Amino acid sequence: MSYLDYGTGSRIADSKAPQGPIAERWDRRRFTAKLVNPANRRKHTVIVVGTGLAGASAGATLAEQGYRVLQFCYQDSPRRAHSIAAQGGINAAKNYRNDGDSVHRLFYDTVKGGDFRARESNVHRLAEISVQIIDQCVAQGVPFAREYGGLLDTRSFGGVQVSRTFYARGQTGQQLLLGAYQALSRQIAAGTVEMHPRTEMLDLVVVDGRARGIVARDLVSGEIGTYMADAVVLASGGYGNVFYLSTNAMNSNATAVWRAHRRGAYFANPCFTQIHPTCIPRTGTHQSKLTLMSESLRNDGRIWVPKKAGDPRAAVDIPEDERDYYLERIYPSFGNLVPRDIASRAAKNVCDEGRGVGPGGQGVYLDFADAIARLGRDKVAEQYGNLFEMYERITAENPYEVPMRIYPAVHYTMGGLWVDYDLQTTVPGLFAIGEANFSDHGANRLGASALMQGLADGYFVLPATVNDYLAGAPAVGDADASHPAAVAALDETRERLARLLAVQGDRTPDSFHREIGELMWEYCGMARTEVGLRKALQRIPEIRAEFWRRIKVPGTGAEFNQALEKANRVVDYLELAELMCLDALHRSESCGGHFREESRTPEGEAERKDDEFSYAAAWEFTAPGQAPLLHKEDLVFEYVHPTRRSYT
């Protein structure tokens, strides 16, 4: 049977969201959730994989509650997780500006921004919790930007018309992460969190249908071990590195979520990837990653290309009336602050017309000349100085003098492990939080919402719902590392790594990563077609076969071996890529970041097909290389009625 002949499984009838008015659902759930007596909490162990915003906040909070936490990260320190690189800000419905913001408006903007492919109950909860997050972070000493009166400053982000984004210059992610890292550090010192840095999860241990532990490799000694617990939380981030070039960190990877998927967790909406409009264009084939320029720059920067295709003149030599400020022209009410999916596609369109700028015509201008004239160079430097410096270091061009050149790049994955309202996957006892799950952003994430979701999940949602699970979980201590299921998972992992080392072919792990990444960018990137996706689906198994014939990994498994780490991650990209393409092929509508060329409005915008596709696609793994099973979770919109998303 071909991989394309997927079957359709039972519908997911219940996401476990409580009934009743949407503003009361989270309160209700917290009240109905069972509690664990504080004295009993210390008898429970919870594994948390990852130390980004979601993982660090979850680990710290669970430990504060009295649980014993085993926490893992592949980096040498929990402080380095890639949340650290988030630049622009974090949304919260504080309405400190008195500009008409409210919890309901943040909820509305997020559901609409996600192109009506997110679950209303989850998004409303996120909006409610957003206000608590800011309070919590300020209490931790996070140095948000402040006004002269000493109160917090805010700015605007794409897809909204209020100013609700709190920020710390261009390093908001860094400051929020350090706050969570410091809370986690306090627990490590208290002995309630046992931290395992440089340790990578390679498999999930499922005992009697429940997640009971992980298999992980000590990246320094190479030793592969089993760690057991009463619940497992995956906070391992997104899978954007399938595309090779992305704004993700070099070592961000999909192994934790993919291995969990293979052990029974459904993978939802894998094709929903976010292409961020403002990244620094690539310079050559040596390029190892792409660097984002914060969306906040679109508050003051104006995006344009020459009106004439192939205009050879330098930006400063092109007079005003020969420039096309295309976002302001097409979307006058949102202008340069349209959502990311729309800005990215518009950039691609003008480049496809031959009006792109810079090497290869793969770029558009982001121009600050007007802002500098209006605000003065000092004010611009105060708001964006570090971003301008970063841009200059990479490109050797000074954005105070000449416009920045930017181009879209893979940035975030809205898809991820399917979770219910409690953030629990289809494997009981396995939770997924932050970018690792699929739940809140639908088909397109609005700017400054990822930080909000990571911290909402980790500080506030998960600690309440894990209680409920553990209160009803079987007695402690009934599973240990000698259980046959744990031993089997350990053996399979050892075998997989041994196999990688044994091939001794002639191609590097990076060369395969690059190959699959280029294929995905071409056929499963900014614009997707049935023909292209079918081509990719034919090609991926061939690349996979070639990988297992020709991969070369030097050294042994019993040492610090970065080539082996990389090769093992590529193994999982080669499987996940196939599921992403299948999901993109089956969803023959356009929505948010998923743009099927066959489904567009006369104006060229994404055209949803609500009658057919108003559901989350949750895929069940069957067997290696075999077609998966599709389960649909119908999305019901009681509060925000789906309309054609308009930003004009």
Partner 1 sequence: MKLTLRVWRQKNADAPGAMAAYEVDGVSPDMSFLEMLDTLNEDLIVQGEDPVAFDHDCREGICGACSLVINGDAHGPERTTACQLHMRSFRDGDTIDVEPWRAAAFPVVRDLVVDRTALDRIIQSGGYVTAPTGSAPDAHAVAVPKPDADHAFVHAECIGCGACVAACPNGSASLFTAAKVNHLNVLPQGAPERESRVLDMVAQMDAEGFGGCTLAGECATACPKGIPLQAITTMNKEWLRAARTSKR
Return the amino acid letter for 183: A
Measured from the CB atom, the residue of 198 and 632 that comes closer to partner 1 is 198
Measured from the CB atom, the residue of 561 and 614 that comes closer to partner 1 is 561
Q: Does 29 bind partner 1 (CB under 8 A)?
A: no
Give the C-alpha distances (Å, rounded to integers) separating 626 from 1, 7, 484, 543: 7, 11, 26, 16
Q: Does 563 bind partner 1 (CB under 8 A)?
A: yes
Separation of alpha carbons 160 and 108, rounded Å: 10
Measured from the CB atom, the residue of 404 and 585 that comes closer to partner 1 is 404
Q: Does 398 bind partner 1 (CB under 8 A)?
A: no
Q: Does 336 bind partner 1 (CB under 8 A)?
A: no
Residue 469 CA, distance from chain mean position: 25
Measured from the CB atom, the residue of 287 and 333 that comes closer to partner 1 is 287
Site for partner 1, residues 264 to 293, rule: CB under 8 A: 283-284, 286-289, 291-292
Please pick, from the candidates 15, 45, 61, 444, the single residue that binds partner 1 as defined by CB under 8 A.
Answer: 61
Provide the pairing of β-strand 323-324 with 302-306.
Answer: antiparallel
Please pick, from the candidates 1, 13, 189, 475, the single residue that binds partner 1 as defined by CB under 8 A.
Answer: 189
Q: Does 559 bind partner 1 (CB under 8 A)?
A: yes
Separation of alpha carbons 333 and 447, rounded Å: 18
Give the C-alpha distances (Å, rounded to integers) separating 348 from 288, 303, 304, 322, 536: 22, 13, 12, 20, 21
Q: Does 149 bind partner 1 (CB under 8 A)?
A: yes
Site for partner 1, residues 39 to 58, rule: CB under 8 A: 57
The total of other beta-carbon atoms located within 10 Å of residue 216's CB is 24
Separation of alpha carbons 519 and 509, rounded Å: 16
3-state secondary structure of 564: helix
- Convert residues 120-139 into a mask of x (bound to partner 1 by CB under 8 A) and - (unbound): ------------x-xxxxxx
What tokens appear for 181 in the block?
């890292």
3-state secondary structure of 41: helix
Q: Does 510 bind partner 1 (CB under 8 A)?
A: yes
Q: Does 98 bind partner 1 (CB under 8 A)?
A: no
Please pick, from the candidates 24, 27, 76, 530, the single residue that binds partner 1 as defined by CB under 8 A.
Answer: 76
Least Cα distance to 172 among 131, 142, 193, 128 occurs for 142
Please pick, from the candidates 151, 316, 373, 498, the single residue that binds partner 1 as defined by CB under 8 A.
Answer: 151
Q: Does 517 bind partner 1 (CB under 8 A)?
A: no
Least Cα distance to 430 among 48, 21, 16, 120 occurs for 48
Burial of 594 (0-12, 13-18, 19+ CB in 10 A): buried
Shortest gap between Cβ of 454 and partner 1 (angstroms)?
14
DSSP of 373-402: HHH-HHHHHHHHHHHHHHHHHHHS--TTTS
Residue positions annotated with a catalytic role: 340
3-state secondary structure of 599: coil
Separation of alpha carbons 580 and 520, rounded Å: 9
Candidates 101-109, 345-353, 456-464, 487-495: pick the segment binding partner 1 (CB under 8 A).
456-464
- Convert residues 571-610 into a mask of x (bound to partner 1 by CB under 8 A) and - (unbound): ----------------------------------------
Looking at residue 461, what DSSP letter applies? I
Shortest gap between Cβ of 291 and partner 1 (angstroms)?
5
Please pick, from the candidates 140, 163, 529, 622, the single residue that binds partner 1 as defined by CB under 8 A.
Answer: 140
Q: Does 502 bind partner 1 (CB under 8 A)?
A: no
Shortest gap between Cβ of 172 and partner 1 (angstroms)?
11
Q: Does 182 bind partner 1 (CB under 8 A)?
A: yes
Please pick, from the candidates 80, 261, 445, 528, the single residue that binds partner 1 as defined by CB under 8 A.
Answer: 80
Candidates 70-78, 616-624, 629-637, 638-646: pick the segment binding partner 1 (CB under 8 A).
70-78
Separation of alpha carbons 332 and 334, rounded Å: 6
Strand partners, 634: 615
Shortest gap between Cβ of 360 and partner 1 (angstroms)?
13
The angle that helices 103-113 and 120-140 make with each other, rounded to 10 degrees, is: 120
Measured from the CB atom, the residue of 204 and 564 that comes closer to partner 1 is 564
Q: Does 64 bind partner 1 (CB under 8 A)?
A: yes
Site for partner 1, residues 218 to 247, rule: CB under 8 A: 220
Q: Does 396 bind partner 1 (CB under 8 A)?
A: yes
Return the amino acid letter for 516: I
Q: Does 91 bind partner 1 (CB under 8 A)?
A: no
Return the amino acid letter for 299: N
